[in-house]
Amino acid sequence: MDVIKKVTTPKGGIEILRTLIDSTPKIENALNLATKSHKGQYRKSGEPYIVHPICVASLVAFCGGDEAMVCAALLHDVVEDTPCKIETIEQEFGQDVANLVDALTKITEIRKEELGVSSQDPRMVVSALTFRKILISAIQDPRALVVKISDRLHNMLTLDALPHDRQVRISKETLAVYAPIASRLGMSSIKNELEDKSFYYIYPEEYKNIKEYLHKNKQSLLLKLNAFASKLEKKLFDSGFSHSDFKLVTRVKRPYSIYLKMQRKGAVNIDEILDLLAIRILLKNPIDCYKVLGIIHLNFKPIVSRFKDYIALPKENGYKTIHTTIFDESSVYEVQIRTFDMHMGAEYGNSAHWKYKAGGVDNDDYHEGMRWLQNFKYHDSDLKNDPKEFYELAKNDLYREDIVVFSPHGDTYTLPVGAIALDFAYMVHSDLGDKATDAYINSKKALLNQELRSGDVVKIVKGDKIIPRFIWMDQLKTSKAKNHLRIQRRNRLKEIDTKSMINILATFFGRSVFEDMDLKDYKNFEEKLTDCGVEITLTEAMKSFENLSKLTEEIENKVFSLKEDAILEYQEMSLWTRGLRYLGFKTNVLNFLTPNRQWQCKELEHFSVCSSNALEIKQVLLNDCCYPKYGDEIIAIVTDLKDPKAIVHHKFCKKAIAEVDAKAPMVYIEWHKRDRTIYKMMFYLGEKKSVLAGLLTFLNRNECNIVGVSYLGYKDKYSSHCEVSFEIATDKADWIRALINRKYQDRIVELSSLDDAYES
């Protein structure tokens, strides 16, 4: 990879490419077409543009890519940047290469104007639409991801030619999307390069400090590491291993890895990080891995909490290695044990299987390692018009540490750290999650929201009925469970909104108009309104007073408002009569047609209440059964029609839903709009228990209202994160952002307002 960094001419790139993959007629033809198509084009650095696709192809070959992938890498910019058409590529190179190039072409580069971030937000968040394109395109053929990541890596290796602001923007984008995707693909060598290069441009001072420390202490670190390696090697020889049986690889942790460890531990100095040194042992077969593990644990003191066996329980991306951390003479060493084949898969990811495993992409290791991509297909089917929500769900699958739990039959399930029993239920089957009543963890009865630990045996008891658990959304960790509840919630909300709006209309127009209507048939009510020419839907009307006014106006104009002489003349034949009968009315509504019926909208307490001049609401009360908080979705039930009061409930309150089903009088209500901005901050806590208390006190003293706090972290002593939501007066938003960034810069993972968008 270091050699590729130095390539500046087509000739040099071609020489490297031919050392990484055997040349074939198809590869040579792709090289010739790319060279011809990009003739006369140059990069910002001044080098011929063709150098870029050649280097990308070399990186793909380095990762174990096959002939089609290398050809696609050579041609990946041809369709987008030159007159060459995808039909030409299909004709010259076949359907396989053409499909790959087409997928890569659809994944457009993120331009500055495409980034969906607030102008106030200095912490760039990647465009969710492009993020979705990358992952959804990869579902059909994941090889496109390998080419795309290689493309990004070469761009990172040659970033020096760009202005500083673009260097930082592209690096943040790389760290937010491309590095995690590379990690999920198991391409650790590529991921490491992407992270370190991004770190270099985003935090130049921190990068410089770490590099200077490593350079200054290089001699002592290497002496210590080599001494331990020699000691370990001797133990292996004494136990019967020969030189040909294993290979030891020593290394000092990478700059970005060290930086993350410092952040997690709240360390000020690098000296506080104990496990800077690592050693990897490569062996011929899996059984030898366990023999070596036994030798190490018998001769050195292991840190039990850091032991992980990914050979017996591989990661979801197919990663297989035994991890252990040991003490030796006051020093801490991280030891990784794996076979040579496992090493190839760990370094170059699932793409390595195309080159190093027989049978091409149809082998079991490949399919097992790429299973996580199917989650994004599941998300996209319901989130085509909401890239922001897709991004929020998808990043749960990318940015996570995993645990492995078991079913009572011994089946293994990979879940994110912090997952609860209900996550497991949805992972097994959606129906099991919907109807789960109880959980048993390690044969002991437990709550469905109990957090799971790696190695737990989980049994879920299933009932007969679906149990809505929308308020558990924030406790769930898996995107599959979250998405399923989100769809359930959306459908339930539509039903409640439709019934509520019918009640609001009945209250406004007069119950006598609606009393003979079969409201159980609410699903057809909106369809019947549409047939009468009403364009505003009932659910849209529940979103704003403006929409509600439009709906009532349309009902009056298109359903009720025919002149009396027309009514008398046409009666049974009139649109009025036909419309009302079609809607389900059986009573004469002539007495209803009064010209002075109007909405009244008034501010009461924290609410805007909209009632009619025939039913004036004078008081608003919060019901004591659900206590909705500011911003929650609410409805208002009218009590005591002689002295009307609006009783406010959360929309999902069981008592409120019963009132809605009973056709109770209702009025439209919404929270009084406040000039406030709500922020969401992901915050690193570290080991210090007082950090969260200090943060909340700091926010409170600076006029922030805490909306919510949720624990996101891993409940061990090595890492811990939380998510804090707070609101503040909009005119003070810039001030509080600057204050937070200045005081807690090293602990903020993400800080964004609900106004920040993820648009294309």
Hey, which residues are catalytic here?
80-81
- Is residue 177 classed exposed, middle or buried when 0-12, 13-18 and 19+ CB atoms within 10 A define those classes? buried
Q: How far apart are CA 265 and CA 285, in angstroms?
A: 36
Task: Supply 428's token pair.
Answer: 């097994």
d(CA 566, CA 547): 29
φ/ψ (deg, to 5) at 162: -95, 160
Residue 646's closest CA among 589, 607, 682, 696? 607
- DSSP track, 488-539: HHHHHHHHHHHHHHHHHHHHHH-HHHHTTS-GGGHHHHHHHHHHTT--S-HH
Give the span between the Cα atoms of 378 and 372, in whole angstroms. 11
What are 461's two structure tokens?
């008891």
Helix axis angle, 164-173 to 143-157, nearest 10°:
150
DSSP string, 620-684: EEE-TTT-PPTTS-EEEEEE-TTS-EEEEEETT-HHHHHHHHTT--EEEEEEPP-SEEEEEEEEE
- State in Å, rounded, how far the first CA of the chain is from the last one: 33
User: Residues 214, 255: contact at Cβ < 8 Å?
Assistant: yes
**Letter for the amino acid at 450?**
Q
Identify the burial level of 51 via C-beta atoms within 10 angstroms of its C-beta, where 0-12 means exposed, 13-18 middle and 19 or more buried: buried
Helix (H) or strand (E) holding 286: helix 286-299
Tokens 């055997």 correspond to what residue?
22
SS3 of residue 599 by DSSP: strand
Q: How far, CA to CA in Å, does 417 sit from each of 423, 708, 714?
A: 11, 21, 6
Q: How far apart are alpha carbons 408 and 420 in whole angstroms?
A: 17
The beta strand positions in 201-348, using DSSP E, are 246-252, 277-283, 301-302, 308-309, 322-328, 331-339
Identity (one letter) of the amino acid at 48?
Answer: P
Q: For 363, list phi and psi in degrees, rounded to 5.
A: -80, 160
Check if the beta carbon of residue 433 is closer than 8 Å to that of residue 425.
Answer: yes
**Type of residue at 517:** M
Amino acid at 362: D
N residues, the chain: 760
Q: What is the distance between the alpha carbons of residues 61 and 571, in angstroms, rounded to a whole number?
A: 80
How is residue 58 written in tokens?
């070399």
Residue tagged 């909401």 (tokens): 386
Residue with tokens 């441009």: 201
724 burial via Cβ count (<10 Å: 0-12, 13-18, 19+): buried
Q: What is the DSSP string of 28-49?
A: HHHHHHHHHHTTT-B-TTSSBT
What percent of the residues of the chain are helix, what percent strand, and what percent coil, each to the nearest 5?
Answer: 55, 15, 30
CA atoms of 321 and 317, how far apart (whole Å): 12
